[in-house]
Chain A
Amino acid sequence: MTTVATPTAAAAKKPAAPVQKEDAMLLQKEMINRNYHELATARAMGRKVSATFVPGNLNELLMCFDLARSLPETNALQNGMRKKSGKMIMDAERDGHSEDVCTYVKADLGMMLGGEVGPTGEALPRPDVLLLSYTGCFTFMKWFELIRQKYDCETLMLHVPYQGDGKINPGMRRYVVKQLQEKIIPGLERISGVKFDIDRLRQYMRESAKAEESLVKVLQSAKQRPSPIDGYFGGVYYIGPIFTAFRGTPEATRYYEVLWDEVQARLREKKGPITPDGEVDEKYRLVVEGPPNWTHFREFWKMFSDEGAVVVASTYSKVGGVYDFGFRHDPDRPLESLAEYCLGCYTNLNFPQRIDMICKYMEDYQADGLLINSIKSCNSFSAGQLLILREVEKRTGKPAAFIETDLVDPRYFSAANVKNRLESYFQMVKQKRAAVGTAGTSVGAH
């Protein structure tokens, strides 16, 4: 664990409490920043640039064509965490975009309007290719159409069918593979000028599988009591490299080994998760559905950690790949495996599958309850979440609660409201647990 002094305006008067971070978190931050630098210098280095989305992200394939890789959602969330997204969103709204639509899109478009300066302060290049992997989110399609409209970027569409029946049928898999063979790969060859080498793809996929193996061990460590990790707030750091430009690289494999070593050490010492404000003394174990709020990320996390609430499993950490149910990139059947990866991402699962997954988490991770963070921007996640809440409560008998925030629009984060709801919820969990405990005692007494 490392302590990082953060200089703030208030620091001149009173020293701010040092932020505590795991070494893996720092390593992850360094990797993400390095990718931004690679993007910023791509033109100077003669590299072509791609943009693609996190769910259904074909990083291994893009690397086969030596493309620098930008992920617009990650840019938006990084800008959100750095408190830059509010102005970008308002700029996009002034430019004609509705207040009703996804704020990731508007933050991205606003960033472009503001001179395309990325989260780290370096200017990001316009992509040479938009790989529109249309996986689990309708807005993706419009997002890249909007960028194409503005900048005339070449766009390659990969339509990933939705698992409406809760399964991947052969027709769906064949459709995705065919698009990869006939559209995506030839398109990337033409744009990049690099010939496709399937053995290179296999090698990247081998690395992916190693990192996925370690990630799953990390995520499943939360089954222990106390959990050594937070599977939501900490989880978003853990998924950073594998969900973005690093899956398939040896550095991602190394990152997950370092992370797993750290987690094992905490397991041995029976330590709880590390938060920016120190270690959590676990009182409540929660499952969380939905993405986090990024503009007030630390404040949001603190509302949990102050109460001793640890998120033991989350659905958001499966948005770029559901690995804990067994999927691994398979170098022996590379294109089929890429297709299955895309088809299996969390938001591409149907409602019964999502509910089953949450209920399984509740049981496997011995959670006290479910919390849904419903995001105004994201219909893919949010539409119907109130039914998820009812169903999970009905099936597990555990209390569930609902809060509303947004991804990167600071106007939709009401700290007082969220805090009130969380405090009431933790009270409810406590009472429910006490009631179960009493019932258990009385049963035991007989």
Chain B
Amino acid sequence: MTRPVQEIVKQCEALFEDLSFKSVSDWKAAAPGRHAIGYMPVYIPRELIHAAGMLPVGIFGGGDQMEVIQGDAYYQSYICRIPRSTIELGLTGRLDCLDGMVFPSTCDVIRNLSGMWQIMFKDKYIRYFDVPQDYDDTVGGEFYVHEMEVLREDLAKIAGRPITDDDLKKSIAVYNDNRRAIAELYAARARQPWQVPTVELYLVLRAGCVLPPEEHTKLVREYIVATEAVPRAKRDNARVVVTGVFCEQPPLGLIKSIEMSGCYIVDDEFMLAMRWLLDDVPTTGDPLQELSKAFLHRSAQTSSKYDERKADKGKFLLHQVKSRGAEGVVFAAPSFCDPALLERPMLQSVLAEHKVPYTAFKYAENTGQMAPIREQAGTFADSIKLWGAEAQEAPKSPPKKTLPIKEVAA
């Protein structure tokens, strides 16, 4: 029997608010020899961790509920917030449940944090995980497979057993199903955003940072059924895509503020790792090769990734806008986030060319003052409602048929 939607959201909220990662400790305690490996945004192939019998744990900073005291002592005022709150989590013992951390090649700050972690947490497994910026199978692909091989061997040592191709194929299947469930959730929101408020979608998604993927997949599908069962009021909101939020996460209050101000968020970049690969990874053939091909040819575009051609810039964002029937784009970038802020003018010029209205602001994970954001987002929604449709020729509702994302990104 499906639980009421409030109960599901409450469970997700409790997981989100638990900065001690008790659910991870509980999972480890449930069976002897279990290990948990943390990963930071934007993307790592979680299939490898899962195939080792371990729990991949998404670490997305400390949010706005944790006071950062020690972490601030490691960073100048002009560095973003996520590394300082992550260090706070580490130094206060909240990440003791993790046996290791994987830091992907998101930006120079996350990159340097990998080395800091090596110095500060010497007893843990720590890996900087480079992903290719060359997208040929025989060049970047070969490098990426090599990087995954190294991670596979390292994890096998921790697990005390080899990670076989069959293990990997099973994990690929598990994550294929998880991505399909999340795609269903996003499609449900785009269809009826009043039925899937983004705050709820966010919490359901965030639960996937600490739950085993099989459990998370069930939870996502349970939520979809539960929320569709309870009709909610439909508002005359503007449909927007929120972009720039792929690493340091905005506080929940900020997401609420955007929606309260008159916007329905119909697509976003929250926890992009969970939607990074745009379709199923084949479970036949060499699993690392298949993961590599999926990364190289069928993955999301974001600021941390190089665009090979000028014409590729903004393609993914435009697809989000068109396929979700969005009327505008909200650029929400964490303060001092090099990838998001350097990318922003390029994306804005692409949107301007396509007559898609946009607005932009910055935030930090502990931003407390929502009034200015609410006013800005509200004014943006009003301007879309009053003038947007005629001036920008933006679609009012989702087109009946849209191209699959993979076709656009390919």
What is the distance, in angstroms, from B213's C-beta to the closest C-beta of chain A? 26
Complex alpha-carbon distance, A175 and B140, angstroms: 7
Q: Which residues of A contact B344 (CB under 8 A)?
A: 96, 98
Chain B stretch 84-104: residues in CB contact (< 8 A) with chain A: 103
- On whether the beta carbons of B120 and A387 are closer than 8 Å, the reply is yes
Given contacts A162-B105, A350-B115, A351-B112, contact A141 B306 (CB under 8 A): yes
Per-position 1/0 for A166-192, Cβ under 8 A of B: 000101101100110011000000000
Complex alpha-carbon distance, A134 and B105, angstroms: 12
Complex alpha-carbon distance, A383 and B105, angstroms: 14
Per-position 1/0 for B307-346, Cβ under 8 A of A: 1101001000000000000000000010111110111111
> Within the complex, which residue of B127, B136, B143, B303 is in contact with A171, where a contact is CB–CB below 8 Å?
B143
Q: Which residues of A contact B107 (CB under 8 A)?
A: 138, 379
Tell whether B76 is near chain A: CB-to-CB under 8 Å.
yes
Q: Which residues of B contact A165 (CB under 8 A)?
A: 127-128
Tell whether B108 is near chain A: CB-to-CB under 8 Å.
yes
Complex alpha-carbon distance, A386 and B120, angstroms: 13
| Interface of A: prevailing SS | helix
What is the distance, in angstroms, from B407's C-beta to the closest C-beta of chain A? 23
- On whether the beta carbons of A175 and B143 are closer than 8 Å, the reply is yes
Chain A stretch 90-139: residues in CB contact (< 8 A) with chain B: 95-98, 100-102, 105, 134, 137-139
Chain B stretch 27-42: residues in CB contact (< 8 A) with chain A: none
- On whether the beta carbons of A179 and B310 are closer than 8 Å, the reply is no
Given contacts A142-B339, A148-B310, A164-B114, contact A175 B79 (CB under 8 A): no
> Within the complex, which residue of B114, B303, B342 is in contact with A350, where a contact is CB–CB below 8 Å?
B114
What is the distance, in angstroms, from B242's C-beta to the closest C-beta of chain A? 17
Q: Which residues of B contact A172 (CB under 8 A)?
A: 143
Tell whether B142 is near chain A: CB-to-CB under 8 Å.
yes
Tell whether A374 is near chain B: CB-to-CB under 8 Å.
yes
Q: Which residues of B contact A8 (CB under 8 A)?
A: none
- On whether the beta carbons of B115 and A379 are closer than 8 Å, the reply is no
What is the distance, in angstroms, from B325's C-beta to the closest C-beta of chain A? 27
Q: Which residues of B contact A376 (CB under 8 A)?
A: 76, 78
Tell whether B183 is near chain A: CB-to-CB under 8 Å.
no
Per-position 1/0 for A8-24, Cβ under 8 A of B: 00000000000000000
- On whether the beta carbons of A350 and B139 are closer than 8 Å, the reply is no
Given contacts A355-B119, A384-B112, A384-B116, contact A98 B341 (CB under 8 A): yes
Tell whether A152 is near chain B: CB-to-CB under 8 Å.
yes
Tell whether A149 is near chain B: CB-to-CB under 8 Å.
yes
Report the contact-size class of chain B (Cβ under 8 Å from the partner).
35 or more
Complex alpha-carbon distance, A354 and B108, angstroms: 15
What is the distance, in angstroms, from A290's C-beta to the closest C-beta of chain B? 11
- On whether the beta carbons of B130 and A139 are closer than 8 Å, the reply is no
Tell whether B111 is near chain A: CB-to-CB under 8 Å.
yes
Q: Which residues of B contact A96 (CB under 8 A)?
A: 344-345, 348
Q: Which residues of A contact B73 (CB under 8 A)?
A: 386
- On whether the beta carbons of B342 and A142 are closer than 8 Å, the reply is yes
Chain B stretch 336-371: residues in CB contact (< 8 A) with chain A: 336-339, 341-346, 348-349, 362
Complex alpha-carbon distance, A383 and B83, angstroms: 9
- On whether the beta carbons of B119 and A383 are closer than 8 Å, the reply is no
Please indicate which of the listed interface residues B130, B333, B339, B349 has the most CB atoms of chain A within 10 Å of its own CB.
Answer: B130
Q: Which residues of A contact B338 (CB under 8 A)?
A: 100-102, 138-139, 142, 379
Tell whether B133 is near chain A: CB-to-CB under 8 Å.
yes
- On whether the beta carbons of A159 and B133 are closer than 8 Å, the reply is yes
Tell whether B156 is near chain A: CB-to-CB under 8 Å.
no
Given contacts A101-B338, A355-B119, A383-B83, contact A164 B143 (CB under 8 A): no
Chain A stretch 330-353: residues in CB contact (< 8 A) with chain B: 350-352
- On whether the beta carbons of A182 and B139 are closer than 8 Å, the reply is yes
- On whether the beta carbons of A138 and B139 are closer than 8 Å, the reply is no
Complex alpha-carbon distance, A293 and B58, angstroms: 38
Given contacts A145-B346, A175-B143, A384-B74, contact A100 B115 (CB under 8 A): no
Tell whether A146 is near chain B: CB-to-CB under 8 Å.
yes
Q: Which residues of B contact A354 (CB under 8 A)?
A: 115
Tell whether A308 is near chain B: CB-to-CB under 8 Å.
no
> Within the complex, which residue of A97, A162, A179, A379 is in contact with B79, where a contact is CB–CB below 8 Å?
A379
> Within the complex, which residue of A101, A171, A355 is in contact with B146, where a contact is CB–CB below 8 Å?
A171
Tell whether B158 is near chain A: CB-to-CB under 8 Å.
no
- On whether the beta carbons of A386 and B118 are closer than 8 Å, the reply is no
Complex alpha-carbon distance, A314 and B128, angstroms: 26
Complex alpha-carbon distance, A245 and B346, angstroms: 29
- On whether the beta carbons of B335 and A383 are closer than 8 Å, the reply is no
Given contacts A138-B107, A139-B108, contact A159 B132 (CB under 8 A): yes
List residues of chain A with CB under 8 Å of any chain B CB: 95-98, 100-102, 105, 134, 137-139, 141-143, 145-146, 148-149, 152, 157, 159, 161-162, 164-165, 169, 171-172, 174-175, 178-179, 182-183, 350-352, 354-355, 374, 376, 379-380, 382-387, 391, 404
15 cross-chain CB contacts under 8 A:
A96-B348, A100-B338, A134-B306, A141-B306, A145-B342, A159-B134, A159-B306, A172-B143, A174-B142, A174-B143, A182-B136, A383-B75, A383-B79, A384-B115, A387-B116
Nearest first, the 3 closest Cβ-Cβ pairs linking A and B are A351-B115, A164-B128, A142-B342
A350-B114, A350-B115, A352-B118 are known contacts; what are 8 more A-B pairs with Cβ within 8 Å? A149-B349, A152-B310, A159-B140, A175-B146, A179-B134, A350-B128, A379-B338, A384-B115
